[in-house]
Chains A and B, each alone.
Chain A
Amino acid sequence: MTLTRQLWIMLTLTAVLAFGGTFVISMLSARDYMSDQLRLKNLDNAASLALTLSQLDKDLATLELLVSAQFDSGHYRSIDISDLDGNPLVRRENPALHFAGPGWLTQLFPIHVEPGVAEIQDGWNRFARLTLQSDSSFVYLSLWQEASRLAFWFALGLLLSGGFGSLLLKRIVSPLNDVVGQAEAIGARRFIQIPIPKTREFSQVVRAMNALSDRIMHLLFDETERLEELRLKSHYDPLTGLLQRQYFMNHLESILSNEDESASGTLIFGRVSGLDRLNRTLGREVADQLLTRIGENLRRLTEDKDGWAVGRIGGADFALLVSNRQDVQALAEKFSEQLHLSCHEASLGDEWLLPVGATTFSPSEDLSTLLSRTDGALISAEREGGLAVQIVGPDISALPLSDLKSWQAALHKALQAEDVCLAAYPVVGRSGELLYDECPIRLRINQAWQTAAVFMPWAARLGMLPVMDRLVVEKALSRLCDTTEGVGIHLSAESICDSIFCDALLTALQHSAADIKGTLWIGVPESAAFRHLEQFRKLCTLLKPFNCRIGVERVGNHLKRIGQLHDMGIDFIKIDASLIRDIDQQVGNQALVRGLCTVAHTIGLKVIAEGVRSESEKDYLPQLGLDGMTGPAVRI
C-alpha cells in the first residue's frame, strides 16, 4: 500500500471518529436544549390558554373556538381539554410528524417533551384540565440541518487536509523514487550515482550506494585501462605504433566478412625500398628514425577515423585499410604523401624509392586474392620506380551493378516491390543452445538475392541506411510474431543519429503485435556507439520499456571505453572477429578476451564472440568466459 493511500485512510479514520464524536455530542446537546425550550413553551402556552379560558364562558362552542384559534395559528401537535374525570371535551390533534429528513435520525435521537398542563377555572370551581403539546418536527429539521452542515465541514476538512497531506508527502518521498531507481540500477549492475537528497534518512542510503558505485567504477576503469594497455602491447608494433601484420590481416579478414557497408573499401600497400641498404649505409638509428616518422604520420592520418586501419605488415612494408571508401586514387596519393613527408622529416634525400600499390575490394572477396592483387600493384609500382602509385581495379564482374545511379534505381525498385527478406544465422550459448538468430537483410536485385555487404555500401552513399534499418525493424518484428526464437538486428550509426528513424522505431515497437520478452536483440557498432554516445544513450532509454536487448557489436578497438557503457542499460557486447581469429593460439588475445568478459560480467553484460570460423576457436572460447558465439563455424 502506498504511503499516500495510508495517509488517506488515516485521515479518513480520524475524520470519521471526530465526526462521529462531534455528531453525537452536538446532536445530544442540541436535542436537550431544544427539548427544554419546547417544554417551557408547552408550559407557558398551556398556562396562558387556560388563563384566557378561565375568564370566558364555558360553553363548548367557545372552548372549541379558542382551542382551534390557538391550534391553527400556532405550532402544536395537540391541544386537549378534558374534565377533571378525564372525559374529553375538546381535542385538536395533528399527529403526523412533518419531517423530510431520514427516519434513522428520529430513531437515533428520540424526543420526549413533557406536555404543558394547566387547569381551567370556572369561578371558584375547577372546570377542566388542559394538556398541550407543541410540534417537535422543527427540532428534527434543525438537528438534520446541523448534521448535514457538520458532515459537509468534516468532508471539506478531510479533502483539504488529505490533499495538502498528499502534496506534502509527495515532496517528502520524492527522493525515494530516485533512491529506488538507483538501487534497481545497481541490482541490474548499472553503477550509477545520483545527487544526495535533502531528507537525512535517504541521504545516508544514497551516500552509501554512491560510494559502492564509485568503488566499482574505479575497479572497472582500472581494469579496462589494463586491457587497453595489453591490447596496445600485443597488437601494435613497438617501433612504429602501427598494427602488427597478423592483427592487420585479422582485421582485414573480419572486414571482408562483415554484413554491412564496411565490407568494401580500399586497400593500399606501401614500401620503403632499399631499407636494408639504408640500414647498412646510414646506420640502424637513421633507419629506425624513418620508420618511427612513418608510424607517426600514418597514425595521424588515420586518427579519429572510423573504418581506417594502418599496419606495418613487413619490415619495410606498410598498409592502409579504408573501409567503405572507393576513391582509391586520392587515398593512395595521400598515403604516398605521408611516406615522402616522413622521408623528408628524417632528412633523407629523394633517392629512396617509396612505391605505393592500391586497389579497391568488394564484399566476400577472398583474402588471398585481394592480397596478391594489392601486392601486384605494389610490385609494378616498384618496378616503375620513383614515386609511382599503381592502382589495380577490382574484379567487378561479381557485382550486379557498378554505378551509383543504377544502384539507386535498383534499391528503390527492390524496396517498392518488397523484395526484402531476412537471413538467419544462429547465435548459440555456452552449451550449444540457440540464443537468437542473427538476421541480416537481403534484397533481391536483378533476380538474385544479394547480401547486405553488396548493397549496403551503395545504400550508405545514397543516405538510405535509415530506410534500410527501418525495413529491417519491420521485418524483424513481423518475424517475432511468428516465432518464439530471438531475432538479432543491427542499426547503423546514421540511423541512431536520425530522429525520424528513432520516432519510426518507437512507433513500430508500440504498434507491434509481437510479444517482445527479451527476444529482440538490437546491436549498434562499437564505433557508432562511442562516437555518438549521447544518441546511443537516448536510444537505450527509448528501447528499455519495450524489453528489447541492446548491445554493442564489433567491440575490440575501444576497450578503454567499455566502462562508459555501465549506466546505459545495455545487455550484451559482441567481440569483433579480429580478436577471435585463431584465439586458441593467440595468447595475447586470450588474456584480452578473458579480461573483457570479466569487465562485461561485472556490469551485467553478456559477451558474444563474432566471426567464429573454426572448430578449434569454437572449442576454446567457452573457457574464456564467453556467453555465446556466432560465425561460419557455428551451427545449431
Chain B
Amino acid sequence: MLVSGIGGFALDSDFQRMRTVAQERFGEKGLQAIEDWRSFLNKTANQTLSKRLKRVNDFINLRTQYVEDTQLWGKTDYWATPLETLGGGAGDCEDFALAKFLSLRLLGVPAANMRMTYVRAQLPDVKPLRSRAHMVLSYYPDKNSVPLILDSLTAEILPASKRPDLKPVFSFNSEALWVPGRPDLVVDPTSRLSNWRDVVARMGKEGTTF
C-alpha cells in the first residue's frame, strides 16, 4: 500500500483515475509507464531518505527523455503534469523537477523540505561558456542547511556547494498555494492564471495532489 499523509493517493480510486487518463491519452505504453511508476513507488516506500532521493532521481531521469516544450507540446512554456511526463516519457527541466517533487511527496517527504528552484546553468560542454535558464528540485535537510540538488542534467545528487555551474535565482514550493480549510482554492477558475497553479489544478483532475 502507498503511504498515507497529506499527499499521495488517498484512495485506490485516485490511482484508478490516473490509469484511465494515462490509457486514454498515451495508450498501452502510457498505462505501462504509470503501472511501473506505481510499483516503483511501492518498492521504494520503506527505504531510507537518501535512498529514496537517489532512486526517485534515477527513476525519473532514466525514464524521461529531455525534450523542449516547443517540440513536445507545441508551446514555448508548458508545465506538464507528472502523469503527462511519465506517460509520454518525455519532458523538459521543470517537468523533471515536478515529477520528482510529486514522487517524493508520495514517498512521504514533507513539502516544506523541497523547493523548485530556478537556476542559471552554465553548460560545460558548450564553448564558449554559455548560460541557460534551468530548473532543479532542491532538497533542504533542514531549513538552514545547504540543499541537495536533484538535477535532470546530472545523474548524481550533489549538495549545492558542489554545483558551481548552477546560480540560484528564486525558489518556491506548494506551500503558498494552500489555504488551510479551503482546498477548493487550488482548482478555482483564477488558478489558470499562473503556470504553477495551472499544473497543480490539472494534477488535481488527474487524481494527484501534493
Contacts and interface: CB of A to CB of B under 8 A. Distances in A.
Contact of A124 (B138, B175, B182, B188): B138
Contacts of B172: 47, 118-119
A118 B116 CA distance: 13
Contacts of B193: 40
Interface in A26-64: 36, 39-40, 43, 46-47, 50-51, 54-55
A124 B179 contact: no
Interface SS of chain B: mixed
Interface in B72-117: 115, 117
Contacts of B132: none
B126 interface: no
A51 B170 contact: yes
B144 A124 contact: no
Contacts of A5: none
Contacts of A46: 176
Contacts of B190: 36, 39-40
B120 to A, nearest CB: 11
Nearest to B191: A40
Contact of B144 (A36, A43, A84, A121): A84
A43 B176 contact: yes
Contacts of B144: 84, 125-126
B11 interface: no
B160 interface: yes
Nearest to A40: B190
B127 interface: no
Contact of A114 (B138, B147, B179): B179
Interface string A103-130: 0000000000010111101011110000
A271 to B, nearest CB: 124
Interface in B174-202: 175-176, 179, 182, 185, 188, 190, 193
B75 to A, nearest CB: 22
Contacts of B115: 119, 126
A40 B188 CA distance: 11
A134 to B, nearest CB: 15
A51 B170 CA distance: 6
A39 B147 CA distance: 30
Contacts of A123: 160, 168
A47 B116 CA distance: 14
A124 B161 contact: yes
A125 B188 contact: no
Contacts of A43: 176
B179 A50 contact: no
A409 B149 CA distance: 138
Contacts of B160: 123-124
Contacts of B117: 121
Contacts of B185: 39, 114
B168 A124 contact: yes
Interface string A559-594: 000000000000000000000000000000000000
A117 B168 CA distance: 19
A117 B147 contact: no
Nearest to B173: A119
A51 B118 CA distance: 11
B169 A55 contact: yes
A82 to B, nearest CB: 12
Interface string B7-45: 000000000000000000000000000000000000000
Given A40-B190, A121-B168, A116 B176 contact: yes
B143 A124 contact: no
B65 to A, nearest CB: 28
Contacts of B146: 124-125
B171 A119 contact: yes
Contact of A121 (B171, B176, B179, B188): B171
A55 B118 CA distance: 12
B143 A118 contact: no
Given A50-B170, A114-B185, A124-B138, 14 more contacts: A39-B185, A39-B190, A40-B190, A40-B193, A47-B176, A51-B169, A54-B170, A55-B169, A114-B179, A114-B182, A119-B115, A124-B160, A126-B115, A126-B140
Interface of A: 36, 39-40, 43, 46-47, 50-51, 54-55, 84, 114, 116-119, 121, 123-126
24 contacts: A39-B190, A40-B190, A46-B176, A47-B176, A50-B170, A51-B169, A51-B170, A54-B169, A55-B169, A84-B144, A114-B182, A114-B185, A116-B176, A119-B171, A121-B117, A121-B168, A123-B160, A123-B168, A124-B146, A124-B160, A126-B115, A126-B140, A126-B144, A126-B171
